[in-house]
């Protein structure tokens, strides 16, 4: 393999594309950033210029109100960076606007996946498999115990609980960017036509999804409900942090649910007093991670933010080259 890909360098605060002096998902402000998606641990404010999909730029604009220096790149579009580096944004299937970034320089191809999944998601186009020399993959759920069930099963549990408890409401904790809208869109796909209530903190992101053509059906704010009883028999979506707070205690006898890949781990559900754990993740599970490596078939895999060890071992067992990157600042909140 040529020259160890010296033109692309993992540093603790991001991946440096050296000839172009651009940084991918840097965790501190830089002059020139390439951003994979809008989750806060990947998309930070304060960069000089930001190259991202129009959807990701809209999400960043909503969160940081920093739109100057924004360069939109559509899926499949290639832009030429300084130093002879081409960057192409490809769908990652993670959340609205999420992209893998394909970098090409001196005949070498590197893909940085950002966060991704391989499951169908009505809120974003599916992950695109693209052959490359180096695949930089996340490994949030990089252990064989993580096998996400079909989302239809989890949505089915939610609807069954609703039907069996007409006098209560179901409070679903879901990350405000991506998870909340996917859960709502999947409920609609399963035939749930009733209005879905939102915690106030979810409203703007849901409206942004709607502005980008994602149909979420009738949404209402909890604060606008005529009275407490109007919420009985309904689903309410809130940020995970609101599940056990004072706001939640004013709801009529809520069943506490949480949509997260971590709900596979019972202690996590118990810790958050979750009665109805829903294993719904926007990250690749073990099977999706390994299948992706096989399909992309890179000469070498670089593994970031997650459980690197098992995936490294899997590479060894399958005679594949891999290394773990020590990037800092990625959190689990967008699970
Ligand atoms: Zn993410
Ligand atoms: Zn991440």
- For residue 326, what pLDDT is reported? 77
- For residue 89, what pLDDT is reported? 98
Q: Alpha helices of the chain — where are they, by DSSP H? A: 54-64, 151-164, 179-189, 203-211, 246-249, 266-271, 286-296, 308-317
The CATH number corresponding to 151-278 among 1.10.260, 3.30.70, 2.40.128, 3.40.50 equals: 3.40.50
| pTM of the complete model | 0.95
Distance between Cα 249 and ligand 1 center (Å): 30
Token code pair at residue 334: 């967008």
Token code pair at residue 13: 């605060």
> To which CATH superfamily is domain 3-145+283-324 assigned?
Ribonuclease Z/Hydroxyacylglutathione hydrolase-like (3.60.15.10)
Round to whole Å and give the CA distance between 256 and 137.
Answer: 33
- For residue 49, what pLDDT is reported? 94
Task: Give how far the C-alpha of residue 230 lies from the chain's centroid of Cα atoms, to the nearest Å.
Answer: 32
Distance between Cα 195 and ligand 2 center (Å): 31
Distance between Cα 209 and ligand 1 center (Å): 16
Token code pair at residue 288: 């999706």
Please list the rounded mean pLDDT of every run of 10 residues in the chain (335 residues).
77 94 96 96 92 97 80 98 98 98 97 97 98 96 96 98 97 97 98 98 98 98 94 97 94 97 91 94 97 98 88 97 83 58
Distance between Cα 231 and ligand 2 center (Å): 34
What residues are neighbours of ligand 1 (ion), with CB under 5 Å?
Answer: 39, 115, 334
Burial classification of residue 261, based on how many CB atoms lie within 10 Å of its CB (0-12 exposed, 13-18 middle, 19 or more buried): buried
Distance between Cα 333 and ligand 1 center (Å): 8
Ligand nearest to the CA of 38: 1
DSSP 8-state code for residue 20: G
Which residue ranges make up each domain of the chain? Answer: 3-145+283-324, 151-278
Distance between Cα 187 and ligand 2 center (Å): 25
Q: Which helix (H) or strand (E) element contains residue 256?
A: strand 254-259
């Amino acid at each position: 393999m040529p020259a160890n890909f010296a033109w692309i360098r993992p540093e603790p605060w991001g991946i440096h594309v050296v000839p172009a002096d651009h940084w991918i998902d840097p965790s501190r402000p830089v002059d020139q950033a390439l951003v994979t998606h809008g989750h806060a641990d990947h998309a930070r404010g304060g960069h000089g210029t930001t190259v991202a999909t129009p959807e990701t730029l809209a999400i960043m604009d909503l969160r940081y109100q920093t739109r100057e220096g924004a360069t939109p790149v559509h899926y499949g579009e290639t832009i030429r960076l300084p130093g002879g580096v081409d960057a192409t944004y490809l769908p990652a299937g993670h959340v609205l606007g999420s992209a893998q970034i394909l970098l090409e320089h001196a005949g070498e191809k590197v893909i940085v996946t950002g966060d991704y999944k391989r499951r169908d998601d009505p809120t974003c186009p599916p992950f695109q498999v693209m052959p490359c020399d180096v695949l930089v993959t996340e490994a949030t759920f990089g252990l064989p115990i993580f096998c996400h069930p079909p989302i239809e099963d989890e949505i089915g549990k939610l609807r069954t609980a609703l039907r069996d408890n007409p006098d209560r409401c179901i409070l679903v904790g879901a990350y405000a960017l991506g998870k909340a809208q996917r859960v709502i869109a999947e409920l609609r796909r399963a035939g749930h036509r009733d209005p879905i209530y939102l915690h106030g903190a979810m409203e703007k992101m849901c409206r942004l999804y709607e502005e980008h053509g994602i149909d979420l059906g009738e949404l209402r704010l909890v604060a606008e409900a005529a009275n407490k009883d109007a919420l009985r028999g309904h689903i309410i979506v809130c940020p995970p942090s609101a599940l056990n707070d004072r706001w939640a205690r004013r709801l009529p006898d809520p069943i506490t649910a949480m949509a997260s890949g971590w709900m596979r781990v019972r202690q996590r559900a118990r810790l958050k007093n979750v009665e109805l754990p829903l294993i719904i993740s926007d990250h690749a599970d073990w099977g999706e991670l390994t299948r992706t490596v096989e399909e992309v078939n890179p000469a070498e895999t670089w593994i970031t933010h997650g459980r690197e060890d098992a995936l490294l071992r899997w590479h060894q067992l399958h005679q594949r080259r891999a290394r773990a990157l020590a990037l800092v600042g990625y959190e689990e909140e967008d699970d």
